[in-house]
Amino acid sequence: MVERLLDRQVSPLEYPTGGGAIYGASGAAVADQAPPGFDPGMLRLEACFSHEKRMDKIQSVFPQTFRLLGDARAGIVRDFAATFPPVDISRLANARQFHEFLRARWQESLPEPPHLRDVAACEFAFAMARAPSPVDEELPPAGRPARGAIRRHPGIILLSCEYDVRPVFEAQGQDQSQDQSRDPARAALSIRRETLLAIFLPPGEQHPQTFEILPVVFDLLAVLEDWTVPSEFVLGPESDELIRELADSALIEVRL
Amino acid sequence: MIDITNLNPGPAVGIGYRAAIGEWTLKNLQHFDVLEITVDHCLSSGQFTASAIYDLVGRIPMTAHGIGLSIGTDVPLDLAYLDKVATIVERLQAPAYSEHLAFTRAPGRDLANLLPVPKTEAVAESIIAKVRTVQSRISVPFLLENITYLFEWPDSEMSDAAFLNLICGETGAGLLLDIENLYVNAQNHRFDPCKFLDALPAGLVKEVHLAGGVTVSQNYLDRPVLADSHSHPVPDGALDLLDNTLARQTPDAIVLERDDRLHAGDEILDDLKRIRNRIAGQHIGNAHGRTAVGSAS
């Protein structure tokens, strides 16, 4: 029976997306795993090109994370390649996979330096904020939100951090010529205190902006994922003013 | 739609637009007759990049190029993706839309690198049907691009040119001839690129890509391999193949691709000059009744 092309296409994709082909266990072992009929050396080169391209995309999203990973970087990338094969061409999808991998790894053992977890979360949030916002589907009249309903601006990313890592990004670009992964001055830039952040890309801007917000605002924005009528909240007499301020700063949208 | 052929007597010459050198591109716009826009960058690179691209509409002709279709994957085409591409192509007022004759993914895996398909009649039939689908949803001519490939399928039974000719002949699709890919494949797989060019019917090549790569040596390879890295000046051997192409074909646009060492703007501008010189030489040669023939070293 003739094998379907799709089934056959899986082999030259699976082999070069595996850690064995990228890093090579031993030459003979890798050659044995290559799909029959294909040149194992060329498939391995394909694997290396593809992996380099993928890691370039990921590193462009996590520049500070990679810098702070220091000597651990090579081992982490290798483990990542072995456990998270690429499933999508996009920069954001690959960055999401890498962030998931880091989060899982750091649940088992804390990263060094410890604020690295928040640095990675912020960098992934910057990437999400840069991505095109989802377009609202046209709803039937009955399903449309009422006038005056509010929701969090769909482009805003909320982040609860254990450290205030904003100085890491403010220092970014000041002196990137040297590896600062173990620079104690840089490590000292991040202070351990709960920091609630809203990250979004203002219209026409290239770089996302980061704002520290009060716990009450963070909680309100967190529940406003969908259109909601403000009267459903019992926020106290200042709520109207708060909503107005949030709308003025484009953190929430108001249905007209 | 802007007709890029009206601006110059020969093909329009330009570069593939890259957001990382967007400002440099704007400052040097006078050096380009055309910009090639990767439609996928409009889709996924964010609002800033998309706006910068759309702001160029009306300032310079743009042609549309894709990297995300994976027309060679043996599954139905993603029609939602195609419809988004159609909208972008219209917005760019592009005269053509091109994609690679390749596959990059199968369900659950995406190498994000262009891989060859087996060159068989059965695979050609499946791709012909998909090309027709693309043509039915995109309002401008569709062009297929020849890719560079590191490995061959063991059951391929046709030459590169015969496979392309079959698909383009059945569908009326044009060819985006990537001369660097041809140059690299000819060196890596040891065939004569002039025979490939000779096999293409006159008029098939609608656009041309040029680029420059590097030589890679690894202990697991039998011999050094050329890689299409889009990182260095166009090799003279590829420009010789451009001469050969222009003797038989009349492409509307020649696009220089550069994806690495983007800071080397002078190299990019110098490559454009070298391309224009080859075009000018061709015109002089033709005017004097000579046949311009080049061959890759």
Please check whether residue B113 touches A, CB under 8 A.
Answer: yes
Does A37 lie at the interface with B, CB-CB under 8 angstroms?
yes
Give the nearest chain A residue to B110 (CA atoms). A87
Enter the tokens of residue A14.
């699976």
Q: Which of B150, B157, B223, B260 would you mutate first to test chain A, the one with the most A CBs within 10 A?
A: B150
Q: In whole angstroms, how far apart are CA A26 and each of A18, A20, A51, A85, B104?
A: 14, 9, 18, 20, 27
How far does the CA of residue B176 sit from the closest CA of chain A (Å)?
A: 22
For residue A45, the chain B residues in CB contact (below 8 A) are 150, 216, 218, 220-221, 225, 227
Give the pLDDT of residue B91. Answer: 97
Q: Is the pLDDT score of B7 beyond 60?
A: no
pLDDT of residue B46: 78
Number of domains into which chain A is organized: 1
Do B227 and A203 count as a contact with CB atoms less than 8 A apart? no
| Residue B6 banded pLDDT, cuts 50, 70, 90 | very low
Nearest by Cα to B282 from B219, B221, B223, B208: B208
pLDDT at A177: 44
Alpha-carbon gap: A97 to the closest alpha carbon of chain B (Å): 13
Q: Give contacts of B 200-229 with A, CB under 8 A.
A: 216, 218-222, 225, 227
How far apart, in whole angstroms, are the C-alpha atoms of residue A202 and residue A204?
6
Asked, for residue A158, whether it belongs to a domain, the answer is yes
Angle between helices B47-54 and B79-92 (to 10 degrees): 40
Measured CA to CA, the distance from residue B244 to residue B183 in angstroms comes to: 12
- CA A114, A95, B55, B205 dihedral sign is positive
Q: Are A14 and A33 in contact (CB under 8 A)?
A: no
Domain edges within chain B: 4-287
Residue A248 lies in a domain: yes
Q: CB–CB of A13 and B111 under 8 A?
A: yes
Tracing tokens 């394909």 back to the chain, one arrives at A46
In a domain, residue A103? The reply is no
Nearest to B111 among A38, A50, A204 (CB): A50
Residues 69-108 of B with CB under 8 A from A: 72-75, 103-108
Quick check: is A37 in a domain? Answer: no
Strand partners, A20: none
Q: Alpha-carbon torsion A75, A51, B156, B210, what sign? A: negative
Q: Give the pLDDT mean for A210-239.
A: 83
Whether A2 is covered by a domain: the verdict is: no
Whether chain B has a CB inside 8 Å of the CB on A41: the answer is yes
Mapping DSSP onto H, E and C, the string for chain B reads CCCHHHCCCCCEEEEECCHHHHHHHHHCHHHCCEEEEEHHHHHHCCHHHHHHHHCCCCCCCEEEECCCCCCCCCCCCCHHHHHHHHHHHHHHCCCCEEEECCEEEECCEEEEEEECCCCCHHHHHHHHHHHHHHHHHCCCCEEEECCCCCCCCCCCCCCHHHHHHHHHHHHCCEEEEEHHHHHHHHHHHCCCHHHHHHHCCCCCEEEEEECCCEEECCCCCCCCEEECCCCCCCCHHHHHHHHHHHCCCCCCEEEECCCCCCCCHHHHHHHHHHHHHHHHHHHHHHHCCCCCCCCCC
**Rg of chain A's alpha carbons, rounded to an integer?**
23
The answer to whether the CB of A131 falls within 8 A of the CB of A95 is: no
Q: Does A132 touch chain B (CB under 8 A)?
A: yes
CATH homologous superfamily of B4-287? Divalent-metal-dependent TIM barrel enzymes (3.20.20.150)
CA distance A111 to chain B (A): 29
For B47, the closest chain A residue by CA position comes to: A132
Quick one: average pLDDT of A76-95?
Answer: 94
pTM above 0.80, yes or no: yes
Q: Which domain holds residue A146?
A: 131-256
| pLDDT tens-digit map of B54-94 | 999 999 999 999 999 999 999 999 999 999 999 999 999 99
Instruction: Indicate the residue of B112, B155, B219 with minimum beta-carbon distance to A54.
Output: B112
Chain B CB within 8 Å of residue A204 CB? yes
Q: What CATH number should be reported for the domain holding residue A222?
A: 3.90.930
pLDDT, one tens digit per residue, over A148-207 is 889 999 889 999 999 999 999 886 655 444 444 445 455 556 788 999 999 998 887 888
Mean pLDDT for all residues in chain A? 84
A130 with B46: Cβ contact below 8 A: yes
Is B142:B97 a contact under the CB 8 Å cutoff?
yes
Least confident of A63-77, A238-252, B143-157, B278-292: B278-292
CB of A73 within 8 Å of a chain B CB? The answer is no
Q: Which residue of A has its CA nearest to B41?
A: A90
Burial A118-157 (b: 16+ CB within 10 A, else e): bbbbbbbbbbbbbbeeeeeeeeeeeeeeeeebbbbbebbb
Q: What are phi and psi of A138, to 5 degrees?
A: -70, 120
Does residue A222 lie in a domain region?
A: yes
- Name the A residues in 135-194 with CB < 8 Å from any B CB: none
Measured in residues, chain B has a length of 297
> Using the beta-carbon criterion (under 8 Å), do A46 and B115 form an inter-chain contact?
yes
